[in-house]
Chain A
Amino acid sequence: MTARNIAMTIDQVAVRFGGLVAISDMSFTVGEGEIVSLIGPNGAGKTTAFNVMTGFLTPSAGQVTYQGTTLTGLKPHEIADLGLIRTFQRTSVFPNDTVYHNLLIGLHRQGRVRLLDAILGLPGARASERKLRQKAGELIEWVGLERRAHDLAGSLSYGEQRLVGVALALAAEPSMLLLDEPVSGMNASETHRFVELVRSIRDRGITILLVEHDMPMVMTVSDRIVVLNYGRIIAEGTPDVIRNDPAVIEAYLGHGAARA
């Protein structure tokens, strides 16, 4: 692997809820343009790690740095302004709006115009609005949901809602994208297409950090994998290294399997 500039540094982050330790002392880095996966059994602390990185949760100790900016104390929307955008496991869409309007909401960061200009319908605001509508159309096409553009997002299948979630995140112009279990609820062919999509996102120069349970998918798409168990990192490396790591096999399959 060639040396990359580091995009994100997670430095000795710990999260405790009262006596419960969700994450104890987690440190790793993500390079620019890399696809890194964060895996681990249920309850390993993956989503908690995401919540810390995107400002939804303040870590009990340690800090996250993104492109030289320390994220501690920043609100989620301020972190979004740094280009660090996430998707969500469950509620990934605005359910009562059409897919098209979902995207228009997602384009918030790109369409900031002065309120007065918008109220008076000044040319600047109208031009910005035209640009947003065009971009929304492009994004829908890019994730392949043209036929569903004018359906309510809440009426889509789970797999399609995932795609809307990703399109929404892309609408916010990320430089790094955090995907929280993006292929859960997708069938094999949908997952296959999604892998292609993730690769094409990376080809746009966007760094990707992925939390996912679908092991074949993770093994195909990742440059590097970080394995969490009980809130600590137990292994880190390329898919080939992780596949053969005894600690990882033990965490997933238990002692007996490790010895077998």
Chain B
Amino acid sequence: MRAVITILLVAALASVPLWLRDPYLLNALITTGIFVIGAMSLNLLLGFTGQLSLGHIAFFGIGAYVSALTSLGFDVGLPGDLRLVHAPWPPIAGFVLAILVAGLCGYFVGLLSFRVRGAYFVIVTISFAEVVRLVALNWVELTQGPLALTNIPSIALPLPGFGEMTLRTKMHNYYLVLVVALMAYLLIARLVHSHFGRAMRGLMENETLAVSVGIDVTRTLTIAAVISAAIAGAAGSLYAHYIRIIDPEVFAFINTVTMVIMVISGGKGSLAGPVVGGLIFGLLPVALRPVMAPEAQWIAYGGVLMAILFVLPRGIVPSLAQRFSRRRSNAPALAPVALTETGAKEPA
């Protein structure tokens, strides 16, 4: 039953470019898809470990810049009359490097902040994103600063025996984003249902108890941060090669907020949550544009968000799943929202 629904959903998503010919709407779907991948990666941290990364866009932006610079090449001066020269590599190498470098950044941010966690992690991630933005803005020789990196090549897939296939059209990019999104979804699903996922869940529910049965907090959270950052980096790379121009504005705080909204409204801690929330808030501005003035659009956007959180406080997917299961059987109700947020602590 579940498998059939999954196959039908994937088939429906895969069929979109076949009947949707409007390039504007297709473009909206592609950028939304890229942000959905980012939201999924944020959900891995926020939903499954309870750690809020308010600088998540940093990993996305680092992925975008790494991928762009790898495929464009650069020539920068270093202290002591040294020059660092890099000849352009194929964009696919940029995609791989973006994942690795973003993951490495996730490792250092995690290592720095998970000794203390909670509010510290929020602050470290915000600062990290701001520092990276300032570097991108001011290291003009490398990043062109506000002038932006332009003419970023599209991703080309090496096909053995056929040479290369450059993904130029919107349809190509739609399928590329869809495939990467499915892989990210599968990776996160496998992860949270594994032994490692249970360790994350244990830590979020009752850290003291989890530690006492032998779960290593720092290691578990750091691994989650690395994987989350790497997936965000992949999304950033897709963004750079699709939009083909990036500037430091990619690091803007509002982009992180958008991802947080997608995760919270869809339902943090549920696998499908960020996908549903991401599609709604990615496509809502597109839907509102023809019917409203620009100022009114943002008011409506906020109104929709508040309405969702008021009616479905756990987020769309978990709230609906709960109602559905309660109607079918008398499944036990989850604890009230407020209770799950306060991690019960054993007094020392």
List residues of A whose CB falls within 8 A of some B CB: 48, 51, 54, 56-57, 75-77, 80-81, 85-97, 101, 104-106, 108-109, 111-113, 115, 118-121, 125, 128-129, 132, 151-152, 154-155, 165, 168-169, 171-172
Contacts and interface: CB of A to CB of B under 8 A. Distances in A.
Interface in B187-245: 187, 190-191, 194-196, 198-199, 201-202, 205-206, 208-217, 223
B214 A115 contact: no
B212 A80 contact: yes
B159 interface: no
Given A91-B346, A111-B195, A118-B190, A105 B202 contact: yes
Contacts of B223: 115
Contacts of A97: 201, 205
Interface in B310-326: none
Contacts, number: 116
B209 A113 contact: no
Contacts of B187: 119
- A80, A90, A108 — most chain B CB neighbours (10 Å): A108
B209 A88 contact: yes
A108 B206 contact: no
Contacts of B335: 95-96, 152, 154
Contacts of B344: 90-91, 95
Interface residues of B, number: 31
B7 interface: no
A91 B348 CA distance: 12
Nearest to B202: A105
A87 B194 CA distance: 25
B345 interface: yes
A96 B191 CA distance: 19
A121 B191 CA distance: 10
Given A77-B214, A88-B209, A95-B206, A105 B201 contact: yes
Contacts of A90: 344, 346
Which 10 residue pairs spanning A and B have beta carbons closest together? A118-B194, A80-B214, A105-B202, A109-B214, A94-B205, A172-B213, A76-B211, A91-B344, A105-B198, A119-B190
13 contacts: A75-B211, A76-B212, A77-B217, A85-B213, A88-B212, A91-B345, A96-B334, A96-B340, A111-B195, A113-B194, A115-B194, A151-B332, A168-B209
A118 B195 contact: yes
Nearest to A101: B198
B195 A129 contact: yes
B211 A77 contact: yes
Contacts of A56: 208, 348
Contacts of A119: 187, 190-191, 194
Contacts of B205: 94-97
